[in-house]
């Protein structure tokens, strides 16, 4: 009987076999290892490996030490003001308007929650945290790793209500609280004013109790700046109107900028030189980043490790309120160090950010500035169809979540302004 179906099986196999023209040799595949740019600067552009090596060959320990000092002192975002000769008082943590609801929303919430029990009776707390990225394995709780969420929730367990505690015990789970965050940060990324929330049905819990418990979790590495009671409707992620990131990139003090050099234009015109640059102009980075401000764009080419469903369409679109770069000098708590290290600071403010988006933007902006590409280089890359067109993510050690905003964006509170 098997012999009866053999002709049909052979026919089906032929139908499924790929056409001969689809076959490719090893040589053909090797040609597509790197993305092929077609502009006039393509011969000067770093490969992914070269870009990675350039980024990671920086003295990142100095940046980590700088962030560690800000976390230890609890300076928050105001601690960055000194880099740009700003008054720290203008950037202090805003403790007003903790409810974040309009008058009509407050009235609706009051009416809807009247004479109700259960979830309507729970108490929600807003927690503003500062933590050092180099001391944790990121925000998100993961088994066997030292994460910020895991540590915070462990110390919030003492404020869990009796009913939930029994449910956790019945499932043989540790008694821990649940912290909802405004945005997860990767391993190595520092946060100066991260926002999370925690709720409980217990009425005896006070903001000061929560602040003290978290403060004892990891002294000098994790510091609660503010704990306040907010409306039940408050959600640190969905209620946020903008997020601000700062990336600090160490510069080579003795290296000569390729732009402004009389030989740089000659090298750009003559592809036979094929000499790739070893430095970049910060002003050029600022020019390319400025082009992103005030626009809603799809940043899918600048994202990494995203789910397929969130790699196309509206989930990839972000509105950039502010995008600038400037040179600054890191100040040091060491009295013997009179002058700090020269760095480039990149300030980005948007309604949302995709995964690893800031780090890829910074690395790509640096690569394009070194190449000598035009000021529309980042905009042009938005139209690419392959993420290899952008550079690998810059090191996480330079990235810092500065703060999260629940009011309309005010450009006057930016650090890098004209």
Q: Is residue 271 part of a domain?
A: no
Provide the pLDDT for residue 12: 45
Are 393 and 245 part of one and the same domain? yes
Q: Is residue 163 part of a domain?
A: yes
Mean pLDDT of 307-319: 81
Length of the chain: 418
20-53 CB burial, b ≥16 within 10 A, e <16: eeeeeeeeeeeeeeebebeeebebbbbbbeebbe
Cα–Cα separations (whole angstroms), residue 78 to 87, 114, 119, 280? 8, 40, 36, 29
Torsion over CA: 98, 99, 102, 103 (sign): negative
Are 287 and 353 part of one and the same domain? yes
- DSSP 8-class letter at 414: -
Provide the pLDDT for residue 333: 57
Provide the pLDDT for residue 313: 75
Are 338 and 403 part of one and the same domain? yes
Q: Is the pLDDT of residue 224 over 70?
A: yes
Q: Is residue 1 part of a domain?
A: no
Integer Cα distance of 48 and 385 in angstroms: 17
Q: Is the pLDDT of residue 106 over 70?
A: no
pTM above 0.85, yes or no: no
- Helices assigned H by DSSP within 157-236: 162-170, 207-215
Q: Is the pLDDT of residue 139 over 90?
A: yes
Are 137 and 179 part of one and the same domain? yes
Q: Which of 241, 210, 249, 213 is nearest to 227 (CA)?
A: 210
55-74 CB burial, b ≥16 within 10 A, e <16: beebebebbbebbbbbbeeb
Q: Is residue 5 part of a domain?
A: no
Torsion over CA: 374, 380, 384, 387 (sign): positive
- DSSP 8-class letter at 319: E
What percent of the chain clears pLDDT 90, i.e. is strictly above it? 62
Q: Is the pLDDT of residue 309 over 90?
A: no
Are 335 and 403 part of one and the same domain? yes
Q: Is the pLDDT of residue 272 over 50?
A: no
Are 384 and 248 part of one and the same domain? yes
Q: For residue 14, what are the contacts with CB-CB under 8 A and spacing of at least 6?
A: none
Q: Is residue 189 part of a domain?
A: yes
Are 403 and 366 part of one and the same domain? yes
Quick one: pLDDT band at residue 290, thresholds 50, 70, 90? very high
Identify the CATH number of the domain in which residue 219 sits: 3.30.70.580
Q: Is the pLDDT of residue 258 over 50?
A: no
Integer Cα distance of 286 and 277 in angstroms: 18
What percent of the chain clears pLDDT 70, i.e. is strictly above it? 76
Provide the pLDDT for residue 115: 52
Identify the CATH number of the domain in which residue 283 sits: 3.30.70.660
Integer Cα distance of 68 and 24 in angstroms: 52
Q: Which of 154, 152, 175, 160 is nearest to 223 (CA)?
A: 152
Q: Is residue 93 part of a domain?
A: no
Helix crossing, 357-371 with 282-290: angle to 10°? 120
Domain around 196? 123-230
Q: Is the pLDDT of residue 261 over 50?
A: no
Q: Is residue 281 part of a domain?
A: yes
Contact in structure between 395 and 63 (CB atoms under 8 Å): no
Are 248 and 226 part of one and the same domain? no
Number of compact structural domains in the chain: 2
pLDDT, one tens digit per residue, over 14-28 is 444 444 434 444 444
pLDDT, one tens digit per residue, over 150-174 is 999 999 999 998 888 899 899 988 9
Q: Is the pLDDT of residue 116 over 90?
A: no
Are 283 and 382 part of one and the same domain? yes
Residue 408, both tokens: 């309309």
Q: For residue 319, what are the contacts with CB-CB under 8 A and spacing of at least 6?
A: 295, 296, 350, 351, 352
pLDDT, one tens digit per residue, over 401-412 is 999 999 999 998
pLDDT, one tens digit per residue, over 52-84 is 999 999 999 999 999 999 999 999 999 999 999
HSE at residue 127, side-chain half, CA atoms within 13 A, is: 32
Average predicted confidence (pLDDT) for the chain: 82
Mean pLDDT of 78-97: 82
Provide the pLDDT for residue 229: 94
Q: Is residue 319 part of a domain?
A: yes
**DSSP H/E element including 404:** strand 399-405
Are 226 and 247 part of one and the same domain? no
Q: Is the pLDDT of residue 343 over 50?
A: yes
Contact in structure between 148 and 179 (CB atoms under 8 Å): no
User: Where is the domain boundary, 195, 230, 265?
Assistant: 230
Provide the pLDDT for residue 7: 47
Are 248 and 372 part of one and the same domain? yes
Provide the pLDDT for residue 118: 60
Are 245 and 193 part of one and the same domain? no
């Amino acid at each position: 009987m098997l012999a009866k179906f053999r002709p049909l099986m052979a026919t089906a196999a032929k139908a499924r076999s790929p056409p001969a023209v689809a076959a490719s040799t090893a040589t053909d595949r090797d040609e597509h290892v790197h993305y092929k740019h077609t502009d006039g600067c393509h011969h000067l552009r770093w490969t992914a490996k070269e870009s990675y090596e350039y980024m990671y060959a920086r003295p990142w320990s100095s940046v980590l030490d700088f962030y560690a000092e800000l976390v230890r002192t609890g300076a928050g975002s105001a601690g960055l003001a000194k880099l740009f000769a700003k008054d720290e008082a203008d950037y202090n943590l805003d403790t007003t308007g903790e409810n974040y609801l309009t008058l009509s929303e407050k009235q609706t919430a009051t009416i809807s929650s009247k004479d109700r029990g259960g979830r309507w009776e729970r108490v929600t707390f807003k927690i503003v945290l500062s933590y050092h990225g180099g001391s944790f394995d990121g925000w998100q709780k993961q088994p066997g790793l030292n994460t910020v969420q895991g540590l915070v929730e462990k110390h919030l367990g003492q404020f869990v209500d009796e009913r939930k505690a029994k449910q956790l015990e019945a499932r043989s789970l540790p008694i821990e609280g649940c912290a909802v965050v405004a945005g997860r940060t990767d391993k190595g990324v520092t946060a100066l004013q991260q926002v999370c929330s925690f709720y409980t049905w217990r009425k005896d819990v006070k903001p000061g109790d929560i602040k003290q418990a978290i403060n004892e979790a990891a002294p000098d590495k994790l510091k609660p700046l503010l704990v306040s009671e907010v409306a039940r409707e408050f959600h640190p992620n969905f209620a946020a109107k903008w997020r601000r990131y700062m990336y600090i990139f160490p510069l080579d003090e003795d290296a000569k900028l390729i732009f402004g050099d009389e030989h740089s234009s000659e090298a750009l015109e003559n592809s036979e030189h094929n000499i790739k640059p070893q430095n970049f102009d910060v002003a050029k980075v600022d020019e390319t980043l400025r082009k992103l401000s005030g626009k809603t764009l799809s940043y899918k080419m600048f994202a990494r490790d995203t789910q397929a469903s969130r790699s196309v369409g509206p989930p990839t679109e972000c509105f950039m309120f502010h995008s600038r770069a400037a040179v600054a000098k890191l100040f040091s708590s060491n009295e013997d160090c009179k002058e700090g290290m020269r760095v480039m600071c990149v300030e980005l403010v948007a309604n949302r950010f995709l995964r690893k988006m800031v780090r890829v933007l910074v690395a790509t902006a640096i690569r394009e500035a070194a190449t000598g590409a035009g000021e529309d280089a980042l905009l042009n890359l938005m139209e690419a169809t392959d993420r290899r067109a952008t550079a690998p993510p810059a090191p996480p050690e330079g990235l810092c979540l500065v703060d999260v905003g629940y009011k309309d964006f005010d450009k006057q509170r930016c650090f890098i302004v004209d």
